[in-house]
Amino acid sequence: MGELQGKKFILGITGGIAAYKSAELLRLLVKAGAEVQVVLTEAGARFVTAVTYQALSGRPVWTDLWDPRADDNMAHIELGRDADAILVAPATADFIGRVAQGLAGDLLSTLCLAREAPLLLAPAMNRQMWENPATRRNIASVTADGIAILGPAAGDQACGEVGMGRMLEAEDLYEALVGFVRPKPLAGRRVLMTAGPTFEAIDPVRGITNLSSGKMGYALARALVHAGANVALVSGPVVLPVPAGVDRIPVRSAQEMHAAVMARVAGADVFIGVAAVADYRPRESQDHKLKKSGDVLHLELVPNPDILAEVAARPQPPFCVGFAAESRDLDRYAMGKLEAKRLRMVVGNLVQVGLGSDDNEVVIYDGAGRHPVPRDDKHRVAEAIVAHLAAALAAP
Ligand code: C5P
């Protein structure tokens, strides 16, 4: 199931070249299960036409305040009635000015004035327009009215200049919207977590590692940010984008991960160990590449620190959550870890299901027993874990 299943948005599109990004944003929203009604201004329709948005949203686009399709001729009231949010992207300088003034000369601006749903604007304009004192005043006044401004970003502009005013990319707007509609049960909570594998060097080009894509940990970090938490993610080597709003601390070995965690653990409300930490490392790593010979090579391994167990054993430990990826006997091993490491919660999965894949199926173990989370996309599973964590933190 998509992570925006059941959510309804109005996507307003005004006359800017960034409208091509809105087509992509629309596709992402629809793919995630959201219902999106596109409302286009006349100027907006000159850049990308209604045909594109209709095909992508699977529903007719609205432009006209006098559209006879609205039963009672109240499209400006009807359309926004049960929307979770109205996002105008791109929002031109002119449109923002009209919203600031409370003007309602066309369907989209009337809809914004008559709204009950929260309004978000993604400005898109040339650098001088963005910096103009009139625009600055309009932005200040819509912000004071409780309207959220997403972006803009700096960079190349369609007019050939470089500067502030580019509309955010479709993926950034998508992330902002998901974050916006999520409840915030973890607001003000500080979460420290680990994710990914560790790499224990044998020599400059070889090492011991665990198979771990980092996908579950990164999905969890993203869901934690969406729930309002302040997230520091100590991450082993992975090839994943850093979720928006996450403070990532890159490390390589278990010892580096251990040091990074210990340096930040004081003051954390929650610690979550998702990383697949290598249990052993070579006693010494060679400065130069080992050369091949016909002989048997002996590698002496020494144990790595158990980061999670050490955090949980602190005098005043944060709420500690462990992960257990097992190839069999999941209940027994996960429950064993809950007790042995003195954790508050363990999230267990069978490696046959979760490893490297975009889906996962987990069981949450805590003092009250086992709570299965059905197989789903890792982002949805992460949301379920965050909901369970938030409930546990709120319990007396
Ligand atoms: O390796 P093990 O199965 O014990 O891992 C269980 C939990 O402990 C995981 O959450 C893992 O991130 C954490 N762990 C750790 N440091 C280690 C080994 C495991 O934090 N050295």
Q: Are 40 and 61 in contact (CB under 8 A)?
A: yes
Q: What is the pLDDT of residue 119?
A: 97
231 alpha carbon – ligand 1 mean position (Å): 19
Indicate whether 354 pLDDT > 80: no
pTM of the model: 0.91
pLDDT in tens, 7-59: 999 999 999 999 999 999 999 999 999 999 999 999 999 999 999 999 999 99
Last residue of a domain, one of 144, 160, 181: 181
Domain co-membership, 171 together with 206: no
Domain co-membership, 219 together with 283: yes
Is any ligand 1 atom within 6 A of the Cβ of residue 307? yes
Last residue of a domain, one of 151, 181, 211: 181
Domain co-membership, 134 together with 201: no
Q: Which atom of ligand 1 is nearest to the CA of 321?
A: 10
Q: Are 41 and 69 in contact (CB under 8 A)?
A: no
Beta-carbon contacts of 65 under 8 Å, excluding residues fewer than 6 positions away, are 75, 76, 106, 107, 110
Domain co-membership, 126 together with 275: no
Mean confidence (pLDDT) of the chain: 95
Look at residue 3 and tell me if it is in a domain: no
Is any ligand 1 atom within 6 A of the Cβ of residue 93? no
Look at residue 377 and tell me if it is in a domain: yes
Domain co-membership, 30 together with 136: yes
Residue with tokens 């091949």: 292
Beta-carbon contacts of 62 under 8 Å, excluding residues fewer than 6 positions away, are 37, 38, 39, 40, 69, 75, 79, 107
Is any ligand 1 atom within 6 A of the Cβ of residue 10? no
Mean pLDDT of 71-91: 85
Rounded to whole angstroms, the Cα distance separating 344 from 246 reads: 23
pLDDT band at 68 (very low <50, low <70, confident <90, very high): confident
Domain co-membership, 177 together with 200: no
Domain co-membership, 379 together with 267: yes
pLDDT band at 350 (very low <50, low <70, confident <90, very high): confident
User: DSSP readout, 347-396?
Assistant: EEEEHHHHTTSSEEEEEEEETTEEEEEEEEEHHHHHHHHHHHHHHHHH--
Q: What is the pLDDT of residue 288?
A: 96
Beta-carbon contacts of 246 under 8 Å, excluding residues fewer than 6 positions away, are 221, 222, 225, 231, 232, 233
Write out the residue range of the structural domain in which residue 310 sits: 190-394
Name the 3-class secondary structure at 305: coil
The percentage of residues in the chain with a pLDDT greater than 70, rounded to a whole number, is 99
Domain co-membership, 169 together with 202: no
Residue (of 196, 186, 201, 172) closest to 304 by Cα position: 201
Indicate whether 78 pLDDT > 90: no
pLDDT band at 205 (very low <50, low <70, confident <90, very high): very high
pLDDT band at 79 (very low <50, low <70, confident <90, very high): confident
Q: What is the DSSP letter of 179?
A: H
Indicate whether 1 pLDDT > 90: no
Is any ligand 1 atom within 6 A of the Cβ of residue 322? yes
Nearest residue by C-alpha to atom 17 in ligand 1: 306
Mean pLDDT of 338-366: 90
The answer to whether 320 is a known catalytic residue is no
Last residue of a domain, one of 181, 200, 224: 181
* Phi, then psi, of 177 in degrees rounded to 5: -70, -40
Q: What is the pLDDT of residue 160?
A: 86
Nearest residue by C-alpha to atom 3 in ligand 1: 324
pLDDT band at 277 (very low <50, low <70, confident <90, very high): very high
